[in-house]
Structure 1
Amino acid sequence: MRMSFRSVALAAAGVVAAAGLVVAGATEAVAAPNFQVPFACNTVVTAATFSGHSPANAVDFQRSDITGMPVLASAGGTVSRVANEGDVSYGRWIEINHGGGYTTRYAHLSAQQVSVGQSVSLGQQIGKAGATGGVTGPHLHYEQRLNGTVLKAVLDGRAVPYYGHTSFTSHNKCGGNPYSPTEVCGSDYSVIDSHALTGGTVYLLYAAGTGRNCVATIKSTSVGTASAVSAHLQVEGSTQVTDSGSFAYYAGPVSRAAGSTCVKWGGSVGSSAYTSPYEHCG
Structure 2
Amino acid sequence: MRRFRVAVALAGAVLASSAVVVFGAPPEASAAPAYQMPFPCGQVWSGQTRSDHSPANAVDLNRANDDGDPVGAAAAGRVSRVANEGSTSYGRWIEIDHGGGLTTRYAHLSVQRVAVGDQVSPGQLIGNVGTTGGSTGPHLHFEERSGTSAVRISFNGSQILYWGTRSYTSHNTCAANNPYTPQAACGSGFQVIDWAALGSAGTTYLLYNGSTNCVATIKSTSIGTASATSAFLEVQGGTRTTDSGSFAYYAGPVKKSAAGKCVRWGGSVGSSSYTSPFEHCG
The normalised TM-score by structure 1 is 0.52
| CA apart distance, 1:66 | 1.0
Unaligned runs of 5+ in 1: 1-29, 178-219, 224-282
Q: Which of structures 1 and 2 has the larger relative contact order (alpha carbons within 8 angstroms, sep 6+)?
A: 2
Of Structure 1 and Structure 2, the greater helix share is in 1
Is residue 2:54 matched to residue 1:54?
Answer: yes
Q: What is the letter of the counterpart of residue 148 of structure 1?
A: T
Q: How does 1:171-182 map to 2 (within 5 A)?
A: 171-176=171-176
Percent identity reads: 58
The alignment of Structure 1 onto Structure 2 pairs a total of residues equal to 153
Residue number in structure 2 paired with 1:248: none
Residue number in structure 2 paired with 1:169: 169
| CA deviation map 1:68-102 (0-9, x unaligned) | 00000000000000000000000000000000111
Q: How does 1:237-256 map to 2 (within 5 A)?
A: none
For the residues of structure 1 that align with 2:106 and 2:99, how far apart are their CA atoms?
17
For the residues of structure 2 that align with 1:222 and 1:152, how far apart are their CA atoms?
36
The normalised TM-score by structure 2 is 0.52
SS of 1:74's equivalent in the other structure is coil
Q: How does 1:205-224 map to 2 (within 5 A)?
A: none
Residue number in structure 2 paired with 1:132: 132
| CA apart distance, 1:116 | 0.1
For the residues of structure 1 that align with 2:67 and 2:164, how far apart are their CA atoms?
22
For the residues of structure 2 that align with 1:171 and 1:98, how far apart are their CA atoms?
19
For the residues of structure 1 that align with 2:63 and 2:133, how far apart are their CA atoms?
18
Residue number in structure 1 paired with 2:77: 77
SS of 1:33's equivalent in the other structure is coil
SS of 1:79's equivalent in the other structure is strand
Residue number in structure 2 paired with 1:68: 68
Residue number in structure 2 paired with 1:111: 111
For the residues of structure 1 that align with 2:82 and 2:139, how far apart are their CA atoms?
18
| CA deviation map 1:137-165 (0-9, x unaligned) | 11000000011210010000111111111
Unaligned runs of 5+ in 2: 1-29, 178-219, 224-282
For the residues of structure 1 that align with 2:105 and 2:134, how far apart are their CA atoms?
16
For the residues of structure 2 that align with 1:101 and 1:54, how far apart are their CA atoms?
20
For the residues of structure 1 that align with 2:221 and 2:112, how far apart are their CA atoms?
34
| CA apart distance, 1:221 | 10
Residue number in structure 2 paired with 1:121: 121
Q: What is the letter of the counterpart of residue 81 of structure 2?
A: R
SS of 1:108's equivalent in the other structure is strand
For the residues of structure 1 that align with 2:133 and 2:162, how far apart are their CA atoms?
24
Residue number in structure 1 paired with 2:144: 144
